Amino acid sequence: MATDSTSSDQPAPEEEIERLAQEIGRLIRSVEIQRREDLKELAYTLIREEMIEAGGGEPVAERSPPGPFNPLGTGILILILGAALSFIFGPVGLLLMMGGLIFVLWGAVLSWVKR
């Protein structure tokens, strides 16, 4: 028979969590009905705070700094907005379309240069 890699005198983390959850449930059921909801909320809050303090139990990955702003998407939106607005108020719509086109070209150049 193969031996288990964990020590036989210590329960597995899953078993310990299950035992603690059963004990918490038993304690909550043993109090009067009016206090049960408050105790459930307290238990949930304490567990959540413990996980936040412990860092969630997972190593925090190093965050890379955000990339530089690429105006391509913004330019497309401004171009569409200018096209729609040019039917209502021509000069403003055309000006927005020109600005959007400049943003699109600028974003395309930035995207092309990064390759």
Provide the residue ranges of all domains of the chain, joining segments of one domain with +: 13-57, 72-114
Tokens of 48: 């959540």
The DSSP H or E segment spanning 81 is: helix 72-88
pLDDT digits (tens, 9 = 90+) for 62-112: 677 777 788 888 999 999 999 999 999 999 999 999 999 999 999 999 888
Higher pLDDT, residue 52 or 82: 82
Closest CA to 85 of 76, 94, 77: 94
Question: How far apart are alpha carbons 79 and 28 in whole angstroms?
Answer: 61
Q: Which residues contact 99 (CB under 8 A, 6 or more apart)?
A: 75, 78, 82
Question: With a threshold of 0.75, does the pTM exceed it?
Answer: no
**Side chain identity, residue 5:** S
Question: How far apart are alpha carbons 56 and 52 in whole angstroms?
Answer: 6
